[in-house]
Amino acid sequence: MMSVDRAKNQVLAVNGGDPAKGRPNPPMYPGGMEIGPEEEEAVLEVLRSKRLFRYYGPNAGPSKVEALEKAFAAHMGTRRALAVTSGTAALICALQGLGVGPGDEVIVPAYTWIASASAVMAVGGIPIMAEVDETLTLDPADVERRITPYTKAIMPVHMRGAPCRMDALTAIARQHGLTIIEDTAQANGASFGGRRLGSIGDVGIFSLQFNKIITAGEGGVVITDDDQIWQRALMFHDVVGGQRNNIAPAEILWGVNFRMAELLAAVALVQLKRLDGLLDAMRQRKRMLKDGIAPVLAAKGFRFREMADPAGDAAIALVFFVDRPETAHWAAGALKAENINASVLYSPDRSDYHIYPHWAPIMNQKAWTPDGGPWRWAQRPIEYTPDMCPRSLDLLGRAIHLDISPLLTNEDVEEMIDGITRVVEAA
């Protein structure tokens, strides 16, 4: 419980009082912080076997990468999975799987890691930014407005653990004959309508980079029920994937090398077993924190981020909107002083590759060659302007983000409730 001294202490830490939270924030690496003897043993097993490469080695034991793919597909509820080197590589393989190519438009959210858009450009496609709504994920109504005859796919990104409005987005895609590629890099294991994210669209991708829910340091996975998408992704991720997998010569396409290493797969396999336990732990802490601060937010007229499916939230973060950016900045600063890890999601003057106006190389249509980037293949004039998704910027500029680590103790959460209550009251 909160100490009596702290409860009595009503002076905010920004004004010289003691911080509400006694301990610093646990590092926000949910799976990363769990790495222990099981991961060590799994890595040693690979090293001892000298089977470091997926497809061959001196000792022909079972491949860890193949085992990871089987386990991932089973866990997420798809027929196929392909393990690759990163989430970005997974996006590129998935886009190749879908047949997105030069000049094709792909609708991406205004708020996502820049890699979602870079992957589209890597296959020659044109990212088209659309608004996010109060879920901070794609606004289906705005997606519909941005569809043109050149749109090929929609990329819902389940940001900060929260499922997109998959029912509405799926209906729009069906109506317009578009495909859906789900970027589940930040929502591993979360769900919508009881189905795991990544398994709902035509193809889904995951990242296993170190700050994701489960991790192997780096890595990525593509999942799909569609054999053709899987086979195309398989060929693209491995230069000789076509020959290696006995694909008919006439169907073989060229590929690059995004093959996952056995050492990464060994770690990822152990981490996958930890996934649902991590989600349970984060959900329990988030529920407690949310219930605890709901009264003070309601009193101030501030609202939580909406959830398209609250039961499916991965619960890595709690986000609420305040009235103005100035309030958000003051409150985030005051919360940090209380030892509470708060941040404002968007500032015009703080570079952050999660929000489109800060994607300078894309906004300025920078190319790798003097002849121009993918925009030279665009089938209509494309212009990006900082104000093209004003609602997203308004929401993100008023959004306060709190990490929900599975390592938070009950005492931590109680102190957070105390600190947030005091700061919001004073806001």
Ligand X SMILES: Cc1ncc(COP(=O)(O)O)c(C=O)c1O
Give the residue, chosen from 72, 113, 320, 346, that forms a contact with ligand X under the rule CB under 6 A. Answer: 113
> What is the helix (H) or strand (E) element at residue 191, kind and residue range?
strand 191-192
157 touching ligand X, by CB under 6 A: yes
Give the contacts of 247 (CB within 8 A, at least 6 positions apart): 231, 235, 241
List the catalytic residue out of 212, 286, 300, 366: 212
How far is 270 from 214, CA to CA, in rounded Å? 9
Comparison of 30 and 325: residue with beta carbon closer to ligand X: 30
Comparison of 303 and 350: residue with beta carbon closer to ligand X: 350
Residue 212 a catalytic site member: yes
> With CB under 6 A, what is the number of residues at the site for ligand X?
14
> Are the CB atoms for 155 and 183 separated by under 8 Å?
yes
CB of 120 vs ligand X, minimal distance in Å: 12
Site for ligand X in 163-222 (CB under 6 A): 183, 185-186, 207, 209, 220
The C-alpha torsion from 210 through 287 and 322 to 197, rounded to 10°, is 50
Give the residue, chosen from 68, 73, 107, 115, that forms a contact with ligand X under the rule CB under 6 A. Answer: 115
Comparison of 185 and 319: residue with beta carbon closer to ligand X: 185
Q: Is 188 left (phi over 0), alpha (psi -120 to 50) or beta?
A: beta
CB of 384 vs ligand X, minimal distance in Å: 19
Segment interacting with ligand X, rule: CB under 6 A, options 55-63, 113-121, 281-289, 394-402: 113-121
Segment interacting with ligand X, rule: CB under 6 A, options 110-118, 129-137, 231-239, 249-257: 110-118
Q: Dump strand ranges (E) for 296-381.
A: 303-304, 317-321, 342-344
Question: Which residue's CB atom is positioned nearest to ligand X?
Answer: 87
CB of 209 vs ligand X, minimal distance in Å: 4
Comparison of 335 and 389: residue with beta carbon closer to ligand X: 389
The C-alpha torsion from 267 through 217 and 117 to 121, rounded to 10°, is -80
List the structure tokens of 358: 């800060």
Q: Dump strand ranges (E) for 37-147.
A: 80-84, 105-109, 126-130
Say whether 21 sits in a helix, a strand or coil: coil
Segment interacting with ligand X, rule: CB under 6 A, options 33-41, 107-115, 257-265, 393-401: 107-115
Give the residue, chosen from 25, 63, 78, 112, that forms a contact with ligand X under the rule CB under 6 A. Answer: 112
CB of 419 vs ligand X, minimal distance in Å: 28
Site for ligand X in 69-98 (CB under 6 A): 86-88
Say whether 214 sits in a helix, a strand or coil: coil
Helices (H), 156-222: 166-176
CB of 150 vs ligand X, minimal distance in Å: 23
> Are the CB atoms for 165 and 138 separated by under 8 Å?
yes
The binding site for ligand X (CB under 6 A) comprises 86-88, 112-113, 115-116, 157, 183, 185-186, 207, 209, 220
Would you please indicate which residues are annotated as catalytic (active-site) residues? 212
